[in-house]
Structure 1
Amino acid sequence: MIQILKVIFPLVAMFGMTAAVRGEIRSETIDYQIAGQPFRGYVSYDDAIEGKRPGVLVVHEWWGHNAYARKRADMLAELGYTAFALDMYGAGKLADHPDDAKKFMQATLADMNVATARFNEAMRLLQRQSTVDSGKIAAIGYCFGGGIVLQMARSGADLAGVVSFHGSLGTDTPAQPGTVKAEVLVMNGADDPFVSAEQIDAFKQEMQKAAVNYEFVNYPGVKHSFTNPEADAFGKRFDMPLVYNAEADQDSWSRMQAFLKRVFTKP
């Protein structure tokens, strides 16, 4: 069982963020436990909206639960959703070097039952928020997080939709007909060296065989981590093919907005 402790964000937020309340957007940290291990998430919502609204989970990049994931949660709150940037690694496990990021990621993916339990507990936590319509939940993810939300869709998680931004596509447990409940939207950089043409073909065949309602967007000339403005700095620092692309970032966010509006208004 999750033990939850809510702490309202002060104006000078933890993790170096600046304003915790911007206009009608309110943000909170949520400290919780899974199997005795501490985790720290971040919920954001517009308190000017009355009543319940859909909830969206945000799954972080391989660096861990950082300011970028929280920024996207705030952006979703501005769209009228309650967003929860969850923690897949555990409190305090935030990487600033690829070696640490790889270690945290591999430890999480070593047992998909553990990874699934962490995602599901975060989803239940979001559903319990007073501002959330518990029957309308979606998930978005970036890089590592993109792969996670796709895997949760494959597992049959009760999600209206999932959106992957420059996420991994491969899996050892492909989607099966009749299992996937979520609609799927994938945004990928066509020049991303971490995603091969063979993986793209295999993913599309998997979705088609499982009769999944999906869309795959491949941005020409775009590389990995194209939505993160800090990608260029990370790429230069660690000699990695990470490149921000403003046009693809804006287009993918616009496509996500249309996707979420559609899946949340389906009868």
Structure 2
Amino acid sequence: METVTTRTVEYQADGLTMVGRLALPAGAGRRPAVLIGPEGTGLNDFQRARADALAELGYVALAFDIHGGRWFTDPDEMLARCLPLLDDPDRMRDIGHAALDVLLAEPRTDPGRIAGIGYGTGGAIVLELGRAGVDLRAIGTVNGLVTGRPGEAANIRCPVWAGVGSEDPIMAPAQRDAFAAEMQAAGVDWQLTVYGGALHAFHHPPVGPKQRLVPGVGYHARHAERAWRDVVTLLAENLG
């Protein structure tokens, strides 16, 4: 019985050597493909496993890197890297485009059926690809409800789904409202799911004592499962 195959891919972006995880489904034909952007802490085994899980569902999946192989356990270091990045749409697009190029270079990728999903900073990057007019079939972002430059959301040509915890102080109600207003004004086919009682990064399980968390961040097992099901549904509806 054929199984999922995985490999590490290295590529250049943002002046760094990025180290992503490419997962291929069983078989030999072309398949729809998914970009997976990680949280601000960076790409770790949990995110790599998301690529594997999507490959098991039949997708070519690339969990892309945003920090040149680093995964941050110190939130101050992470913020020092991420905040300037989130303020620079062109840098985010460059990181996203570099990952997209890797995905398109894979012979099993169907170039006409690509979606992007992301978490936190990774979700913001995927949204910027949409605002840049990249031909995606769907965009999903969890905790990455970052608004873009005025008017550029009109370039988004696919459905957008976003998920956020109701008690997330980082993606607070004002930020959610601004995101919704941006999508609505641009005529995007958009959805926003608010998970009651969930904090920021509610989808990511604890990873051990080395990681120092900031207030407002916490895991919610039930909503993590629900958010994953919502992502899978988005992909099934739009990639076929």
The residue that corresponds to 2:222 in the other structure is 247
Q: Residues 130-150 of structure 1, C-alpha deviation per residue, up to 9 Å, x if partnerless?
A: 221111111111111122222
Larger Rg: 1
**Cα deviation, residue 36, structure 1:** 6.1
In percent, how many aligned pairs have the same letter?
31
SS at match of 2:191: strand
The equivalent of 1:209 in structure 2 is: 185
Residue number in structure 2 paired with 1:74: 52
Separation in structure 2 between the aligned mates of residue 157 and residue 238 of structure 1, nearest angstrom:
34
Q: Within 5 A, what are the aligned runs for 1:11-26? A: 24-26=3-5
Which residue of 125, 129, 144 maps to 2:106?
129
> d(CA) in 2 for partners of 1:97 and 1:199?
25
Cα distance in 2 for partners of 1:117, 1:83 equals: 19
Q: Which moved more, 1:82-91 or 1:224-233?
A: 224-233
Partner of 2:139: 162
Residue range with higher mean Cα deviation, 149-158 or 29-38: 29-38
Match of 2:18 in 1: 39
Q: How far apart, in 2, do the equivalents of 1:181 and 1:260 lie? A: 15
Aligned-partner Cα distance in 2 for 1:172–1:233: 38
Offset from partner CA, 1:70-127 (integer Å, 9 cap, x none): 1111111111111101112224x32111111112213434543232122112102101
Give 1:62 shift: 0.7
Q: Within 5 Å, which residues of 2 pair with 1:88-127?
A: 88-91=66-69, 93-109=70-86, 111-127=88-104
Out of 27, 48, 58, the position equivalent to 1:49 is 27
Offset at 1:197?
Answer: 1.4
SS at match of 1:90: coil
CA contact (8 A) 1:187 1:218 kept: yes
CA contact under 8 A between 1:89 and 1:105: conserved in structure 2? Answer: no
Which stretch of the first structure deviates more once superposed, 109-118 or 183-192? Answer: 109-118
Work out the CA distance in 2 between the residues paired with 1:194 and 1:232.
22
Structure-2 change in CA distance of 1:96 and 1:204 (3 Å): same
Report the TM-score, using the length of structure 2 for normalisation: 0.91
TM-superposition CA deviations, 1:134-177 (whole Å, max 9, x none): 11111111111122222222222211111111223333445443
Closer/same/farther in 2, CA of residues 32 and 247 from structure 1, 3 Å limit: same
- Which has the higher relative contact order, 1 or 2, with Cα contacts under 8 A spaced 6 or more apart? 2
Consecutive unaligned residues in structure 1, runs of 5 or more: 1-22
In 1, are the aligned partners of 2:44 and 2:71 still within 8 Å (CA)?
yes
Q: TM-score, normalised by structure 1?
A: 0.82
Q: 1:247 to 1:51 in 2, by over 3 A?
A: same
Match of 1:198 in 2: 174
Aligned-residue offset at 1:37: 3.6
The answer on whether the counterparts of 1:226 and 1:245 sit within 8 Å (CA) in structure 2 is yes
Distance 2:101 2:214 in 1: 39
Mapped to 2, the partners of 1:180 and 1:214 lie a distance apart of 10
Structure 2 unaligned residues grouped into runs of 5+: none
CA distance in 2, matches of 1:36, 1:100: 18
Amino acid at match of 1:28: R
Pairs aligned (count): 239
Q: Is the 8 A contact 2:42 2:66 kept in 1?
A: yes
